[in-house]
Amino acid sequence: MPANTTASLGILTVTAFVAACASAPHPERSPIASAQTAPPHAAKRSAPETPAGPGAAANPPNAPLAEDSPSGTFRGASPFEAPPSGPQPLLSPTPPRPPGTDPTPKEQAQAAASCGAITQCGVCNNWGYCGFCLSTKQCVPKDRNGPYPGSCAVGFSPSDCPMALYLEKDEVDIRERLARLVGTLAPEGMPLDRKAESVSVLRIPVHRGRCYGLVFRGSYDVDGAIDAEAAVEAKFFDDGGIWVPVYREVSAITPFCPQEDGRILLRVTPRNTTKGTWRAQLFSTSITEETLEAQRERYEAERRALALRYSCSYCARVHLGCFLSGEPQCDNRYVVCLGAFGYTPDDCERGDVPKKKPEPKPLEALQMCSPDEPKG
């Protein structure tokens, strides 16, 4: 029986008992929240089959290579860099100003000092008498006749700000955040780069004995937007395996260590996109069998304690209801209630149960719930 099924038997038994007694509703959690927060994780999504991408490097020895073998290269020293952009469009020359419209030297100096203090394109263009020059990446003074003389020969953009300007400015912070999310994992092979032209679904293999993470990035020249989602289709314990948006077209899966072979599912959907590239980079590191077993045992202990707390709380309410209604043998009813779940009052006092799964007694539970035949 799978680990997640075995570990949750205590809760399932409690739910069945509550339904039999028609009281004490069991708390519920949405499937999305469960997939994100309650290990072991085995999130599932359906999508059309396509070959595996960056995970091809993670295949066992002698395994056939996937059609989408890693295709990208690192241009610098960082595995967190964005994929290369295509050829940049030529900047348009600035039209000449009408004769007799040039400001005085004093006006030009004052305006240049005010606009020059602004570093962000959007702030510059919203300032009213300033506009951004793409060729020099500076905020320059302007009026209704265009930029001031000599301030921007080509690439004057008083209204639009390319996304690349913000990405370049925030690149160091983006890489630092990705490095913190990935932690001690190292790149698994080279990245996979694809044009943002159509919907792509990658199934990336992962294996027991290694921990994994994934980084997704779009290029600077993406025109439109790229929606990317990922899920881990493998059982694992502890935290991790969460898809974390970092920036526009930048996301990562936090490290997770699968208890058995599985895969990462990545779906990339370009939206109103006519150009640009996206990149998927797999990260991994080894983990010992002893550490994996320790994760499993810790998870099972937490699930046993959770089932025990719920059972003890429920049976305490049964005892209180019996006492308030003046029924006989309430203490014995409390003992029978716990026995229906395989627990004893000592277990509730101790707050822990042995590793052996408790064996519930549903027939006694049903008899106990009958108001006409209290257990004695």
Q: How far is it, in rounded angstroms, from Cα 89 to Cα 285?
A: 41
Question: Residue 26, Cα to own-chain centre: how many angstroms?
Answer: 28
What is the 8-class DSSP label of residue 93? Answer: B
Instruction: Please give the structure tokens belonging to residue 335.
Output: 């003992």
Confidence (pTM): 0.63
Residue whose token pair is 């229906």: 340
pLDDT (average), residues 276-290:
95
Band of the pLDDT at 134, cuts 50, 70, 90?
A: very high
Residue 265 has pLDDT above 50, yes or no: yes
Q: What is the mean pLDDT of the chain?
A: 78
Q: How far is it, in rounded angstroms, from Cα 21 to Cα 91?
A: 75
Neighbours of 75 (CB within 10 A): 10
Q: How far is it, in rounded angstroms, from Cα 26 to Cα 36?
A: 20
Band of the pLDDT at 71, cuts 50, 70, 90?
A: low
Band of the pLDDT at 19, cuts 50, 70, 90?
A: very low
Closest CA to 257 of 302, 204, 205, 212: 212
pLDDT (average), residues 44-49:
33
Least reliable range by pLDDT among 80-84, 111-115, 227-231: 80-84
Instruction: Please give the structure tokens belonging to residue 146.
Output: 């265009």
Residue whose token pair is 């020099």: 136
CATH 2.60.120 domain range(s) in the chain: 41-84+181-287
Using an 8 Å Cβ cutoff, are 232 and 196 in contact?
no
Instruction: Please give the structure tokens belonging to residue 11.
Output: 């809760």
Q: What is the pLDDT of residue 161?
A: 87
According to CATH, the topology of domain 41-84+181-287 is Jelly Rolls (2.60.120)
Q: What is the pLDDT of residue 274?
A: 72
Cis status, amide bond into 60, omega within 30 of 0: no
Q: How far is it, in rounded angstroms, from Cα 103 to Cα 216?
A: 49
pLDDT (average), residues 71-93:
79
Q: What is the pLDDT of residues 108-123, one digit of tens each?
A: 999 999 999 999 999 9
